[in-house]
């Protein structure tokens, strides 16, 4: 019962993360066509965000779809690593864009920059929370896949002990 509730929390976190990623991506696409970006006033910080956010969003949506149709996916080393890396990248790129926007000229497109950056920051935090949930509540049998060298050492040790006896 406890494992089922943790998997449900994990799935809900992934869905919220995917929604935040999609909203950030939609607003980022709208930001690309603003005069500030087309005029290269805020080009580098936005393009850094453009480089990473679509890939993370696509992977998150695919991960959520796999999570919805294959219930066993989610609390595993791959999910933990993906969420950790995606969280760090989302936070760093969205913060870069948000910090660059503090000196924004204040035109009618300013809200797009803040919505995209804010949703990306929220998605990054949710990715990190989900990585933490995966790390804490990962089933013990999944931990054996994180360190195959330890398994190999145990097999070698057992083989050595049986050959001595």
Nearest-angstrom CA–CA distance, 94 and 97: 5
Residues of the chain predicted below pLDDT 70: 1-4, 71-75, 104-105, 139-157, 159-161, 163-165
Question: What is the model's pLDDT at position 47?
Answer: 86
Question: What is the model's pLDDT at position 44?
Answer: 81
Q: Which two tokens stand for residue 141?
A: 């049998």
Question: What is the model's pLDDT at position 26?
Answer: 95
Q: Write the DSSP string, 21-78.
A: HHHHHHHHHHHHTSHHHHTTSSHHHHHHHHHHHHHHHHHHHHHHHHHHH-TT-SSSHH
Question: What is the model's pLDDT at position 74?
Answer: 65
DSSP state of 147: -
DSSP helix, strand, coil percent of the chain (3-state; round to 5): 80, 0, 20
In terms of Cβ atoms closer than 10 Å to its own Cβ (0-12, 13-18, 19+), residue 11 is: middle
- pTM for the complete prediction? 0.80
């Amino acid at each position: 019962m406890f494992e089922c509730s943790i998997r449900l929390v994990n799935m809900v976190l992934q869905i919220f993360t995917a929604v935040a990623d999609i909203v950030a991506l939609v607003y980022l696409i709208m930001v690309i066509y603003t005069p500030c970006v087309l005029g290269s006033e805020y080009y580098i910080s936005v393009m850094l965000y453009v480089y990473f956010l679509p890939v993370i969003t696509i992977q998150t949506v695919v991960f959520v779809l796999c999570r919805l149709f294959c219930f066993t996916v989610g609390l595993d080393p791959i999910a933990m690593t993906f969420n950790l890396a995606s969280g760090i990248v989302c936070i760093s790129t969205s913060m870069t864009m948000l910090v660059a926007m503090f000196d924004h000229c204040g035109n009618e497109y300013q809200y797009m920059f803040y919505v995209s950056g804010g949703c990306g920051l929220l998605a990054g935090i949710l990715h990190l929370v989900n990585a933490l949930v995966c790390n804490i509540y990962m089933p013990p049998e999944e931990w054996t896949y994180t360190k195959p060298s330890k398994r190999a050492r145990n097999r070698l040790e057992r083989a050595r002990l049986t050959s001595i006896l």
